[in-house]
Structure 1
Amino acid sequence: MTDNEGTPADTLTEWLSARSDDELAELLRLRPDLTIPPPPTLEVLAGRSEQRASVLRAAEDLDTTCLTVVELLAHEGADTAPVARARLDQIVGRRATKKAVDAALSVLRARALVRGTTTLTLVAAARDAVPWRVGRFFDVDASLTAEVVGAKLAEIDDRSRELLTTLTRSSSIGRTRDAAPGTPADRPVQRLLAAGLLTWLDDNTVELPPQVSQVLRGEPVTDPVSLAPPAASTTAVGVADVDAAAAGEALELLRHCEDIVDSLSRTPAPALKAGGLGVREIRRIAKAADLDEARVGLLVEVLAGAGLIAVGLPDPGPLTDIDDMWTPTPAVDAWVTASPAQRWATLAGAWLDLPRVPWLIGMRDANDKPIAALSDEARSAAAPRDRRIVLGVIADLASGKALATEDVVRIATWRRPRLAARLGVGPVSRYLAEAGALGVVGRGALSTPGRALIGDPSSAAAAMHRVLPEPIDHVLVQADLTVVAPGPLTPELAQRMATVADIESAGAATMYRIDERTLRRALDGGTTAAELHALFATHSRTPVPQSLTYLIDDVARRHGRLRAGVASSFVRCEDPALLAEVLSSPAAEALALRALAPTVAISQAPLADVLAGLRAAGFAPAGEDSSGTIVDVRDRGARVVPRRGRSPYRTPAVPTDEQLGRLVSEMRAGTRAGEVRRTERERVRSDGTRASGAATIALLQRAALSRSPISIGYVDAAGVSSNRVVEPVTVGGGQLDAWDPDAGVMRHFTLHRITSVALLA
């Protein structure tokens, strides 16, 4: 009854029983949905393996060769009676080697879709997994190239073209009365049949050839009966050039994400009633961060996927009645202080596994409404799988090899023909554009960090660290009070420069601008004039301009002469004339300042408002604490604690090797126990009574004393019934303790859940 004997198994259950433990474990690994809930016997496993939904799910991983073999077996009736392997080889002919067919059959056997060697049997539901008409292999017109189809389409009228376009948007099979013989030749269907742009199936049915459909959709034309993978026409690109381009995009990604986080920290964005970010908020963020709206849409999706922004009530929150606002989370504070490579790995990993499609933002949904960023309309549980398929095509090439989008589409759809509708030129080009924007792809080739991200995510940060430019600890201060950083700065120096200057332009080299306002900002943060002089003297490779030295001293001399504290707030100054000037200014009335002494005034306004009001009036106050020490009172931005929501997308988890081995052992034990039940003679059944009845307990105690194996029927807490062969050890307290020889463990069974007991010796 095994494949090696060359005779087909009568049933799938018998065929599975003849498989080795490793083969059964591999089946469960390839089809994890079969393990939920754990099948108690091989018979249950066989039943699940034949269910249509499970078969269709298993077929999504099959390539064109495997699905063509399924098509040919279904065409020959292998789903109802075994078909000789020799017949399959005869049909395939020279379109594929015997080795390729053997490989396809091995893949199908591993998934329990086909069984047998010299004769082959197909699972009935596998016929429905073929994404094209069964039998197309025999009548498809392989002469329809892109050029031929294009020439024929140029000759038809608008009405005929509209008919073809309708078929491309739905099923390729169309029902029409105009296909019958005798129909006037001037009808559109008859003209298309005559032109070879439709295939006649019967008097009421026509089919759109796949090549015609591909041309109409703007996709690369492929040979529908080719069983060999499409050849890739690659372009050589230097690995160093690819990594350099990826590193540049990574640095831009980090800078732009920091700008968006900063914008949302200052002004959280209200969420739409249906969720997501509205167009107005996207435009506001884009303007604040100096980015285009499409870029902002992608980055907010990635930031949300990485848990760096979330929706909720921010703290501190704005004085509005809006509860849900998109705001950075506390995780941002740790992220901004991490190394650039680690920050990139966080964002790139979030994008790769993001169950959303950012490039849908701005498109129209089914109700003709624009799809908003972070909205439910942009969700897609299949997006992570589609990204990995697209990137997997490039990853299979040698490093430094680029591939055109059309070739990526051609190879991806050959590998996953059931997903062809999701892997057209449009989606693939957008996935690649996103990958390029995140530094996963550079100049059309997979970057070294991108390859690590796909293969071993834990090494992605290290790979990016190696390709990023080495951080530098120096700048170039110029006479016009601009500072040039000729490369990425060390984190400490970058943070200090961001405090003392504003970024004027960014790129491979960053230019900062210093003015009175930025110097005052640094002094507000507690930096002294001496520390500012030391900063530029230590880190500037060019002489520090005298104008900068004078500006620092001038701002520092005026800074802090006026002090503000919490009283609610107070203002003090060693110079009575200056405080008098403050009290006579318009700001004093707005802040309700009142003099307590020639050098002290108080206000009921918060300290931050007092400082802001005085600065707006042209003064340069500094904040101080109760001891008189200058404190940094700058706004740290709003934060929100993310809500713990249950993900709507749940995919079967792949069990570990240990779990698979244990499950296989339990299925075999359950199968043997079931066989015993069919042949046993001595049996005590519950028959509506509790299994803890006197007769059942007596039989269990007898088996425990004699150490005799028994077969029990058992229903667990989840309601899953199973049969087991165990050796009772003790019976008491409403529980049976028994040794499971198959699993090699002691098991505990609740007596009232035991439905049947049978002695085996």
Structure 2
Amino acid sequence: MTTTLALAARLRELDDAALVSALHHRTYRRTGVSDFFDLADALLDADSLQRALAPLDRTHLAALVALGSGGGPLTADELARRLKVEPATTGTTLEAAEAALADLDGLLLVHPADADADADADASADAPAGRVVVYDAVTTHLATWPASGLPSPAELLGTPPPPALAPVPDTESRFTDRLASERAFEAVTAVSELLAELGREGARRLQKGGLALPAVKRLAEALSVDADIVPVVLSAAERAGLAAVDDGMWLPTEAAAAWSHSPTRDRWRALAAAWLDALPADLRTLLALRSRAAWGDSLREHVAWLYPAAVEEAQRRVDAHTRLAEWLGVTAHQAPSSAGTALVEDGPEAATEIMAAQFPSEVDRVYLQHDLTIVSPGPLAPEVEGRLRGIADLESRALASTFRLSATSVDRALTAGETADGIRDFLSTISLTGLPQPIEYLIADAAERHGRVRVHEAERENMRSAVRSADPTVLRSIQVDQSLSSLRLIPTGDGELGSRYPRDVVFWALSDARYPVVAEDADGREVTLRRQRFAHPRAAQEADRDAELVVRLRQAEDDAEEDTGERWLARQLDAAVKARQTVIVEVAMPGGEVVDYLLEPTGVGGGRLRGRDRAADIERTLPLSSIRGVRPAP
């Protein structure tokens, strides 16, 4: 029998790192755990076992059933031979059996029988190495599953998987690829717009997760998508490391700038690779097996069979990944595209070669029109679009996007470091229609107005910055502007307006209010300020409760070092009595010889152990002072 006694001894012998790692994978009660027997009890508790067993797939569950079906401990090879003849696990390989046993061992659901056999070398001389046995509590708990509506042990072994589906026909794949490429291009565009909008104004994350409704509406409008698509876009950006939460705000990361200026094919590759990397190992294997067949309902059916104790949770997990796959063009109408098939079979590079061939060609020329609009005849090259966004405002986004120049947009570009000549040269270079006169006038006027308002640092009492202008009318307008009232601007007596706020705060407030403002350093030279914020997420420092528990248990043993052996022996015997478990008791005889008795303990008290000798079939009473050790009977 493999009960609490065996698990407690195993827990005690594990090194701290291995024990903490195992506990990290288990959910168990920590209250009342004062020694390794208490910990073993907690790990073999019905609730703890259910939490450990429910997420397991059918192969792991079938392995536990096979190990607990009698016949003694099994090696990985013996387990593989037993599983491969069962309908649910037909064809199980030695490698699969070894992997399953390693996982189950890490979860403390199976016991290495060799550890017990080492103490009884004669009994194990002819036994193969690497034998494993399941804990009795696990077998008992699996037997109760039918009462909870879960599969019985026999059903875990005897229910075959759903039939495999036929591949998607070639005639359908052409339509699938066309739709998938459209979605992939739209996905890249949506993530680009998301990052641009987050860079302009971050989005507040709620404490419970998700975005506040105003942020969702703002982002949906900026991306030209339905509100329920915004979380999908944000998820894709987060997985690719392009957006993150910093101080409760969703912001672009520093990697977002390089991504936004990369070709469309490279941007899609980054998104697709992030999706693939985020797939759990089991789901990646499952999708690879169905890389040429429709996913959809058939995939959900297979997942329900594969995870019989956590059907809804497993299906939700699959749905989250497949929904993003549909949006990225990995699938279309739940059928893998050619690029999607290549992605799960051969990786992102192979998938990108296929997908990029279906993307529309990028252009680096636009139409400049007299009404101050700029129209691109196709998707713009990233380097052109990036600079154009700094000069003009995006009005509509599609394969042919429209931008609009305005005095505000040109002034914003000048504030960011552009020059009037630089703007003219850039627009002339990318224009298919020359530089219309209204645009020239707009640039010249904006350049002439730019810098009429200047902000510099001030070193006066209760004043950290000052605003000046050669035009007194402009200063008076700023002073009475209600949108700037929070700056507390007051005349200084020398033709300036002083503020107790820093220069940068005053500068951006004036810029947002559309004043032609520039910032100056202490020597009066113009400086370019950047408001772009990047996310620098910090990992939350949480206490490792499992590590703390292990330290506490070790410390308790150290504090009671002198009587640790006696206490451990007493706890072993108590556990054997409660479980009615047959054990081997090592007893020191008066002559110095140590004799092993095969006993079923019936009670401990008065310094003596009472139990039935299974070999001699008599009752024995042994003094505890003579007992040198206790181990589970094989």
**Partner Cα separation in structure 1 for residue 337 and residue 364 of structure 2:** 27
Whole-angstrom CA distance in 2 between matches of 1:421 and 1:112: 20
User: In structure 2, what is the equivalent of residue 283 of structure 1?
Assistant: 216
Relative to structure 1, the CA distance from residue 309 to residue 536 in structure 2 (aligned partners, 3 Å threshold; closer, same or farther) is closer
- Amino acid corresponding to residue 322 of structure 2 in structure 1: L
Q: Determine the structure 2 residue equivalent to 1:592.
A: 490
Q: Structure 1 residues 282, 564: CA separation in 2 closer, same or farther (over 3 Å shift)?
A: closer
2:322 maps to what in 1?
432
Q: Contact conserved, 1:587 with 1:617, CA < 8 A, in 2? A: no
Q: Which residue of 2 aligns with 1:403?
A: 294
Alignment CA distance shift 1:431-1:584 (3 Å)? closer
Task: State which of 248, 252, 257 in structure 1 corresponds to 2:186.
Answer: 252
Cα gap change, 1:616 to 1:280, in 2 (>3 Å): closer
Aligned residue number for residue 536 of structure 1:
427
In structure 2, the residue corresponding to 1:480 is in which secondary structure? Answer: coil
Taking the aligned partners of 1:639 and 1:478, their CA distance within structure 2 comes to: 38
1:294 paired with 2:236, answer no
Shift of the 247–331 alpha-carbon distance from structure 1 to 2, 3 Å rule, reads: same
Query: Which one of the candidate residues 588, 601, 621 is aligned to 2:496?
Result: 601
Confirm or deny that 1:60 pairs with 2:57. yes
- Matched residues in 1 for 2:322 and 2:229: separation? 14
Deviation of residue 423 (structure 1)?
A: 8.1
Letter in 2 for 1:171: L
Distance 1:563 1:110, change over 3 A: closer
Find the counterpart in structure 2 of residue 444 from structure 1: 334
Distance (Å, rounded) in 2 between the aligned partners of 1:108 and 1:389? 13
Q: 1:234 aligns to what SS in structure 2?
A: coil
Instruction: Give 1:474 shift.
Output: 1.2
Q: Distance in 2 between matches of 1:72 and 1:570?
A: 80
Which of residues 171, 176, 199 is equivalent to 2:150?
171
Is the contact between residue 352 and residue 387 of structure 1 (CA under 8 Å) also seen in structure 2?
no
Partner of residue 533, structure 2: 637
* CA distance in 1 between partners of 2:333 and 2:196 (Å): 30
Q: Deviations over 1:155-198 (max 9, x none)?
A: xxxxxxxxxxxx9984368xxxxxxxxxxxxxxxxxxxxxxxxx
Name the structure 2 match of 1:580: 472
Q: Is the 8 A contact 1:233 1:407 kept in 2?
A: no
Sort the Cα spacing of 1:486 and 1:390 in 2 relative to 1 into closer, same or farther, 3 A.
farther
Cα distance in 1 for partners of 2:341, 2:465 equals 57
Q: TM-score, normalised by structure 1?
A: 0.48
Pick closer, same or farther for the CA change 1:240–1:498 going to 2, 3 Å: farther
User: How far apart are residue 499 of structure 1 and its match?
Assistant: 0.7
Deviation (angstroms), 1:421: 1.5
What do the CA deviations read for 1:589-647 (whole angstroms, capped 9, x no partner)?
A: 85324463xxx635335444554565677753344456665543352235434236579
Q: Is contact 1:393–1:411 with CA below 8 Å preserved after alignment?
A: no
The share of aligned pairs that are identical, in percent, is: 27
Alpha carbons of structure 1 residues 429 and 648: separation in structure 2 relative to 1, 3 Å: farther
Q: Provide closer, same or farther for how the CA distance between residues 460 and 242 of structure 1 changes in structure 2, counting only shifts above 3 A.
A: same
Verify the 8 A CA contact 2:206 2:212 in the aligned structure 1. no
- Whether the aligned pair in 2 keeps the contact of 1:524 and 1:632 (CA below 8 Å) is yes
Matches within 5 A, 1:237-636: 242-243=176-177, 245-265=179-199, 267-269=201-203, 272-273=206-207, 276-277=209-210, 279-280=212-213, 282-283=215-216, 286=219, 289-290=222-223, 291-313=225-247, 324-354=248-278, 384-385=280-281, 387-389=283-285, 391-395=287-291, 397=292, 403=294, 405-411=296-302, 416=306, 418=308, 421-422=311-312, 428-455=318-345, 457=347, 459=349, 463=353, 468-567=359-458, 568-569=464-465, 579-585=471-477, 587=479, 591-594=489-492, 596=494, 601=496, 603-604=498-499, 606-608=502-504, 610-611=506-507, 619-625=515-521, 630-636=526-532
SS of the equivalent of 1:526 reads coil
How far, CA to CA, are the matches of 1:625 and 1:80 in structure 2?
Answer: 79
| Secondary structure at 2:413 match in 1 | helix
Q: Does the aligned pair in 2 maintain the 1:329–1:639 contact within 8 Å?
A: yes
Letter in 1 for 2:57: E
How far is the alpha carbon of 1:472 from its aligned partner? 2.1
Q: Distance in 1 between matches of 2:74 and 2:320?
A: 46
- Tell me the amino acid that sits aligned with residue 232 of structure 2: L
- Give the 3 Å change call, closer, same or farther, for CA 446–473 of structure 1 in structure 2: same
Q: Tell me the distance in 2 between the aligned counterparts of 1:431 and 1:423.
A: 13
How much has 1:388 moved relative to structure 2? 2.0
Number of the residue aligned with 2:621: none
Quick check: 1:248–1:508 contact (8 Å CA) kept in 2? no
CA distance in 2, matches of 1:649, 1:250: 43
Q: Aligned-pair distance for 1:519?
A: 1.8
**What are structure 1's unaligned runs of at least 5 residues?**
1-32, 38-50, 114-121, 135-166, 174-206, 211-223, 314-323, 355-382, 651-761
Helix, strand or coil for the counterpart of 1:642? coil
Q: 1:626 to 1:252 in 2, by over 3 A?
A: farther
Paired residues, number: 461
Check 1:333–1:540 CA distance in 2 against 1; reply closer, same or farther (3 A cut): closer
2:170 corresponding residue in structure 1: 236
Q: What is the CA deviation profile of residues 329-372 of structure 1, one whole-angstrom value per residue up to 9, with x for unaligned ones? A: 44444444445444444444444444xxxxxxxxxxxxxxxxxx
Q: Distance in 2 between matches of 1:648 and 1:351?
A: 29
Distance 1:648 1:241 in 2: 52
Residue 510 of structure 1, CA deviation: 2.0
For residue 41 of structure 2, what is the aligned residue in structure 1? none
Q: Contact 1:582–1:588 (CA<8 Å) still a contact in 2? A: no
Q: Alpha carbons of 1:269 and 1:233: their partners in 2 closer, same or farther (altered >3 Å)?
A: closer
SS for the counterpart of 2:323 is helix
Decide whether aligned partners of structure 1 residues 461 and 552 sit closer, same or farther in structure 2, where only a CA change above 3 A counts: farther
Residues 499 and 227 (structure 1), Cα distance of their counterparts in 2 relative to 1, 3 Å cut:
closer
State the superposition RMSD in angstroms.
5.6
* Matched-pair contact (CA < 8 Å) for 1:409–1:423: no
The CA deviation at 1:496 is 1.0
**TM-score normalized with structure 2 length:** 0.56
Shift of 1:546: 3.1
Structure 1: which amino acid aligns with 2:432?
R
Measured after TM superposition, the shift of residue 410 of structure 1 is: 4.2
Gap change, CA 1:279 and 1:542, over 3 Å in 2: same
Q: Distance in 2 between matches of 1:245 and 1:105?
A: 39
2:237 and 2:162 mapped to 1: Cα distance? 41
- Structure 2: any 5+ residue segments left out of the alignment? 1-17, 23-43, 102-130, 459-463, 547-634
Judged with a 3 Å threshold, the aligned counterparts in structure 2 of structure 1 residues 57 and 544 are, in CA distance, closer, same or farther, namely same
Q: What is the alpha-carbon distance in structure 1 between the residues aligned to residue 514 and residue 352 of structure 2?
A: 49
The more displaced of 446-455 and 493-502 is 446-455
SS in 2 for 1:431: helix
Distance 2:64 2:475 in 1: 89
The SS at the match of 1:585 is: helix
Indicate if the aligned counterparts of 2:59 and 2:100 stay in contact, CA closer than 8 A. no
Give the whole-Å Cα distance in 1 for the aligned partners of 2:56 and 2:240: 32
